[in-house]
Amino acid sequence: MKDLLSSRVAYGKSLVELGKTNPKVVVLDADLSKATQTVQFSEEFPERFFDMGIAEQNMMSCAAGMATFGLIPFVSTFAVFASMRAVEQIRNFIAYPKLNVKIVATHAGVEVGQDGATHQAIEDIAILRAIPNMVVIAPADWVSTKKAVQAIAEYQGPVYMRVGRSDHEPVYQSDFKFEIGKSVQLRSGKDLTIIAIGNMVSKALSVAEELSKLGFSIRVIDMHTVKPLDETAVIDAAKETKGIITVEDHTIIGGLGSAVSETLSSYNLAPVIRIGIQDRFGQSGIGDELLDYYGLSVSNIVDQSLEILK
Amino acid sequence: MEIIQVNELSKKAYQIRKLTLELLCEAKSGHTGGSLSEADILSVLYFSKMNIDPAKPDWEDRDRFILSKGHACPALYATLALKGYFPLESLSTLRKLGSKLQGHPDMKRTLGIDISTGSLGQGLSAGLGMALASRLLKKQNRIYVLLGCGELQEGQVWEAAMAAAHYKAANLTAIIDYNRLQIDGSNSEVMELSPLADKWRSFGWKVIEIDGHNIEQIVNAFEEAKQTVDCPSVIIAKTVKGKGVSFIENQVGWHGRVPTKEELAKALIELDERMKTL
Ligand SMILES: Cc1ncc(C[n+]2csc(CCOP(=O)(O)OP(=O)(O)O)c2C)c(N)n1
């Protein structure tokens, strides 16, 4: 049996590791430290942890001020609040002056489950991606999350990283190189490419497995950095395979699918099918059940893939 | 405090006002009223109170200043130029394409700007971040945040006020440029602020109320704030919007308009005359 571990638990553990080696790292949370798992850091380094109360806007601008002193603030809350309640704070006080603040938002996508639509950020990538100077990352599993935490701490500048809530099948069994802006090809193939982010990467691998049983050869790419997008990988995929399927637990407007389509819009290379939330809100339900309901199931992705493969 | 020093600081404030009007006239747009009302406070901070060195704008141990009411940056640019952060001549580039002097303060372009502002309501939060960082790093910096009074209608200001008191950020001093006017009218017409001192007190702040054009009171207020070691301090400085030029004073319409060449000439004569009486 494979170990299951959610990305947010991995985030919490990685922060503690980071805190041990980098005294500049401070963590801010808005009364959700148990859910975001920054609680692990708060127990280890209480003097470097700041609970800012249920006041996300103050938290963001406050982190900006800390960054001007050379600290590296990691700011966490649910993705819906980080990316929307406090977006203007992020834009004007963090992104515009390119301050070294890492926003790590958990509970993204409909995967959040039973809390329902108010707590399911399906627009965060679209919003953050539109802001100049921002790097936008969505790691696939816990190994990848640990790597990403290290990478964004080393990077100088603002980052938005979205982390899921639930336990996942691991995508990465062992060590691998995580480089911001450089996608990872998990499976080679010449018929079709599936590009996925976050919790959808393991699903993309299952889809490829299914399709291989039907005799197709499927390339799978983990596009952990949505911005800056690994355009080379996208263009190569469009040239070398018959089409691209993008998969994200996010609205199809403005997210990964849009980024990939925008990249390909000036070439006449290959069709792109965007699989994601079809411009509507989520609802309560079990995470996996919701993913199926909104079309993010292996069977639906297989069906859509066959549209191109036919 | 010695009379000579008070006069010196008053004179600097008048120089700030003159330069401010000149550069606003040249730029043909910008915020006049709120720039003139804060001039005495800027003069005291930059020419007496703050531990800063224009030759080392990135010096870690310097005190920090945040113009939370970022629209009133013309007076700050004038102050920074007078202090020697950049040449006086560059003031004429304000708001022009490619200028280091943006319409609202930009820390990446302008030496002496400690953080970019322009979106109201966020400066106190950033100041709190600096205050907490300074304390964590065991430094002695003092953090000053200048807010507008209309700006206090932003909810985030009160989030920051609550948090600063919670964290006992005594190295943080807020100054309110309490000129009672904003854009659509007076505070009372737009959104009542009083009882302002009580609000801050109830949030756990030390409140110091002064005449924001009285140099001695401003100096003493900063001293009192410095002596306060168990909570953050707020200086509520009663000011006159457009202070120093009779036809601009207390006129809500002068928030976001600039003087014509003729108005500038008239204003400079009046400022010179007032300066002579010091
Ligand atoms: C968040 C935000 N909302 C609106 C504005 C537009 N605005 C610029 S100045 C101003 C009035 C400010 O009044 P006050 O704080 O009293 O400043 P002062 O009178 O000292 O200039 C407004 C509404 C802004 N800059 N930021």
CA triplet B183, B187, B191: central angle to 5 degrees?
Answer: 100
Q: For the residues B8-25, what does the mean pLDDT come to? A: 98
Answer yes or no: is the C-beta of B150 below 6 A from any ligand 1 atom: yes
CA–CA separation, B53 and B114 (whole Å):
13
The ipTM (two decimal places) reads 0.96
Q: Which of A57, A68, A65, A11 is nearest to A30 (CA)?
A: A57
* Count: domains in chain B: 1
Q: Atom of ligand 1 at shortest distance to CA of B187? A: 16
Structure tokens at A239: 């040239």
Closest in B118, B128, B136 to A62, CB measured: B128
pLDDT of the residue at A173: 83
Residue of B nearest to A46 (CA): B136
pTM: 0.97
3-state secondary structure of B12: helix
Per residue in A140-181, pLDDT (tens digit) is 999 999 999 999 999 999 999 999 887 778 899 878 999 999
Is B130 within 8 Å of A65 when comparing Cβ atoms?
A: yes
Chain centroid offset of residue B258 CA: 19
Q: Which of B136, B159, B106 is nearest to A73 (CA)?
A: B136
Q: Can you tell me which residue has the tokens 């990316």?
A: A83
pLDDT of the residue at A1: 37
Among all residues of A, which ones are annotated catalytic? 56
Range of the domain at B58: 3-276
Average pLDDT, chain B: 97
Q: For the residues B55-83, what does the mean pLDDT come to? A: 98
Answer yes or no: is the C-beta of B240 below 6 A from any ligand 1 atom: no
pLDDT of the residue at B112: 98
Task: Label residue A132 exposed, middle or buried (CB < 10 Å: 0-12, 13-18, 19+).
Answer: exposed
Answer yes or no: is the C-beta of B185 below 6 A from any ligand 1 atom: no
Answer yes or no: is the C-beta of B112 below 6 A from any ligand 1 atom: no
Residue type, A43: E
Closest in B115, B156, B167 to A64, CB measured: B115
- Phi, psi dihedrals of residue A128, rounded to the nearest 5°: -70, -30
Q: Which of A228, A93, A223, A221 is nearest to A155 (CA)?
A: A228
Q: For the residues A202-224, what does the mean pLDDT come to? A: 97
Signed CA dihedral, A148, A149, A153, A159: sign only: positive
Chain B residues 123-152 with a CB less than 8 Å from chain A: 123, 125-134, 136-137
Q: Calculate how far, in angstroms, residue B101's C-alpha sits from the geometric centre of ligand 1.
A: 19
What are the DSSP E strand ranges found in B68-142?
A: none
Count CB atoms within 10 A of the CB of residue A214. Answer: 11
Q: Atom of ligand 1 at shortest distance to CA of B147? A: 15
Chain A environment of B137 (Cβ under 8 Å): 69-71
In chain A, pLDDT over 90 holds for what percent of residues?
93
Q: For the residues A38-44, what does the mean pLDDT come to? A: 98
Structure tokens at A281: 């809100």
Q: Calculate how far, in angstroms, residue B275's C-alpha sits from the geometric centre of ligand 1.
A: 29
Q: Can you tell me which residue has the tokens 């553990």?
A: A13
Q: Calculate how far, in angstroms, residue A80's C-alpha sits from the geometric centre of ligand 1.
A: 28
Q: Can you tell me which residue has the tokens 């959040």?
A: A112
3-state secondary structure of A248: strand
Distance of residue A33 Cα from the nearest chain B Cα, in angstroms: 17
CATH code, domain with B153: 3.40.50.970
Q: Atom of ligand 1 at shortest distance to CA of B181? A: 19
Q: Which of A24, A72, A58 is nearest to B137 (CA)?
A: A24
Answer yes or no: is the C-beta of B143 below 6 A from any ligand 1 atom: no
3-state secondary structure of B177: strand
- Phi, psi dihedrals of residue B73, rounded to the nearest 5°: -70, -20
What are the DSSP E strand ranges found in chain A?
A: 5-6, 25-29, 49-51, 72-78, 102-106, 135-137, 159-163, 167-168, 184-187, 192-196, 218-222, 225-227, 244-251, 272-277
